[in-house]
Chain A
Amino acid sequence: MRENLHRFFRAARGAGVRVSPAESIDAMRAVSRVGFTDRGVLRDTFLLTLAKSQDEKRALGECFDLFFSQPEPAERGEESKYDDAERAESNASSDSPGEASAGDQAENLGPLAQMLLTQDRNAISAAIANASGAASLSNIRYFTQRGIFSGRVLEAMGIQRLRDDLDNLTPTNPALAERLQAALDGLRDTVRETVSQALLLYGREETENLRNEILRNAPLARIEPRQVEQMRALIRQIARRLRERYSKPRKRQRRGHLDVRRTLRRNAAWGGVPFLTAWKRKHRDRPKIVALCDVSGSVARVSDFFLLLIHSLHEVVDDVRSFAFSGHLIEVSDILEEKSLEAAMAEIMSKVGFGSSDYGNSLADFEKSWMDTITPQTTVIVLGDARSNNLDPRADILRRISERSKRLVWLNPEGRMAWGFGDSEMPRYATFCSVVRQCATARQLERAVSDIVATYQ
């Protein structure tokens, strides 16, 4: 049983639950107390000892159900495939006088063939389990490995011998050969199913990682509609990671100079002998962000993800004001706060989206109404391709924004090569920005936002 527990821990890791050796020891201790008799209790025990958050509980619960239902499909596969046919045949053969000869022939066959012919389901399940162990099926990670592992499992079960048997039987006893062939097909299906299940069990995390890795490096502006939802999930994941990294209380607050006045007052009861010291605290700013997002044309989708990311960072970022523009500029913070992202983006698009962009006019709008939102603690982030359709770029406003703010960061979805060509005003704007960086993929987006938040730590 211990072996099975270890396999379960491995499966749990595959499902994305972090199981450290210490935790597995705890779980084993707990299991030794509750025993294996009651599956519900066993499940609760694993959930309590291994999972450390609600997400993990859900993943582990699924993993548990999958893991402990595993032997069943093997049997069912067997049954549905050729149970009926086999039963009819065995009925027929038990009456027929030819039975003895068939039995004789079976003696000469390999163990696998005999097992298949006797229809000993438990033996077959056990053999598959053993072969899975021999083929180290629990190392399966990617869906592309399914074929290899199926092959290995069948190999370990002795399919070579079975093939030889089939070749020998075909001329001498075609009926038996046919039965064996059918059984072999059934076995193949069962093994394939076992391997698929193992992949589901052990490889989920890796498969997901691989997919996320590809997604992370895909240009945001050109992803397919069906990937949008996956991308949103990925962005949320990134947001969670950034939150975890930066929402920890800032350290070293108690360093600095002794606050003499407060120390004396606090220790008045002991005649001014300073038992308790008070320190001047160093205050650290939480990030304040003003985001200006271009929502015209191809930049829109990047803005979409950027806004999602920046607004998922509540715990880290004190104050976010978001503005969207193409021809003119509006504030969208409230819309984003109140509605779900899909509804919010739809509303923003209907208000300002899809026009031809006019950076000069939009910057003028911003200066007119919202310039006072920028304080020396504010980071201003502009997200756009700086393609202003040859209209006046009003770089002077950007200079004033830059002077008022702590930092001015420009994120451009276009590659560096394209900056300054055609109607791109990037070089003119870039002179007033603290940082200019390309931001076309989720990875670059993460890096950019992470750097911005890190400057406040």
Chain B
Amino acid sequence: MAEAQPAAAIEAVENGLAAQGYIASRQIATAVYLSQEIEKPILVEGPAGVGKTELAKAIAAWRGMKMIRLQCYEGLDEAKALYEWKYAKQLLYTQILKDKLGEVLGGAQTLHAALDQLHTFGDVFFSKEFVEPRPLLQALEQPAGCVLLIDEIDKSDAEFESLLLEILSDFQVSIPELGTVSAIAPPTVILTSNSERDLGDALKRRCLHLHIGFPEQKLEERIVESRVPGISQSLRRQMVGFIHEIRTLDLKKLPSVSETIDWARVLVLLQATELDHEIVKDTLNVLLKYEADIEAAQPQLTTFIAKASRQNVFG
């Protein structure tokens, strides 16, 4: 069914995400559709605040699946990401074993016989009971499948990347003491990256590569519409137009979609009906996060506001 009508299926993805308040571009919807079809993780790259993490949340909400999130940072290792042994319980176990040792060995006469008996005794020291599953293992163990979000993979070390390779390509992990754990239902994996460092080719090869940039004006208006319903249409168009002008400047940190939404909320809160110089100046710190950026934008404000308003008249 899906094979016959890929275009319709992609549109269904778009609508499904939209119902969760995530307005996806065509390319994003295609990526989500494909990742489902050929069971590949999606690697999402793009500047901060364009909705990379939000995408995973929206997919989880749309499909009604649990979302498991793994936030990456420098020094993250397998003990925190994959699994860990419950050391304290293992200690207790050995103590219990010590107490029960007499029963287990059951009156073996020689040392050799005692050892033989010990070997036949089932060892649970390294067993499933003593494994503390961390996000990656948890994701594999979800019977109904889940959305696994590996957030800001670029912040982790290169070694951690290699750890991910197995789970990304085969949806399984190997625990030396237990063997291989395969996914009950393959999870939908989303990796996000701010391109702080270049990821390895091996990792990139296993993923669909999706770049989310700043959205086009029409799309951004729709995003604001869905996120901040209280804002009037004319103001929405003006402010989005204004932000697109701001993005043409050479700034340290360009305002992204999250800033647009914040600003829209602020404008609604201040009950602004249209952009004027005064209100833009007062609320510019919502959009721009560096003093130097605000200073750089300051002289251009009037022209930008005029341009944005003009657009409103003719657009």
Contact = CB atoms under 8 A, between A and B. Distances in A.
Interface of A: 18, 20, 22-23, 26, 29-30, 33-35, 37-38, 40-41, 44-45, 47-49, 51-54, 57, 243-244, 247-249, 269-271, 273, 275, 315
Contacts, number: 76
B6 A51 contact: no
B252 to A, nearest CB: 11
29 contacts: A20-B205, A26-B40, A30-B37, A33-B34, A33-B37, A34-B6, A35-B3, A35-B6, A37-B6, A38-B6, A38-B7, A40-B26, A41-B6, A41-B7, A41-B10, A44-B26, A44-B27, A47-B27, A48-B30, A48-B209, A49-B34, A49-B209, A52-B201, A53-B209, A57-B209, A244-B198, A270-B87, A270-B88, A273-B91
Nearest to A240: B198
A315 B7 CA distance: 42
Interface of B: 2-3, 6-7, 10, 26-27, 30-31, 34, 37-38, 40, 45, 87-88, 91, 157-158, 197-198, 201, 204-205, 208-211
Contact of B34 (A30, A52, A247): A30
B196 to A, nearest CB: 9
> Chain A binding site: helix, strand, loop or mixed by DSSP?
helix
Given A33-B38, A45-B34, A270 B198 contact: no
Contacts of A273: 91
> Chain B binding site: helix, strand, loop or mixed by DSSP?
helix
Nearest to B79: A276
Given A22-B205, A30-B34, A30-B37, A54 B7 contact: no
A243 B26 CA distance: 34
Would you list the 7 A-B pairs with minimal beta carbon distance, nearest first?
Answer: A34-B6, A44-B30, A52-B204, A48-B208, A33-B37, A275-B87, A44-B27
Contact of B158 (A44, A48, A249, A269): A249
Contacts of B88: 269-270
B38 A57 contact: no
A54 B38 contact: no
Contacts of B10: 41
A448 B115 CA distance: 65
Give the one of A41, A247, A270, A275 with max B CB within 10 A.
Answer: A41
Give the one of A29, A52, A247 with max B CB within 10 A.
Answer: A52
Contact of A52 (B26, B27, B37, B209): B209
Contacts of A23: 205
Contacts of A51: 209
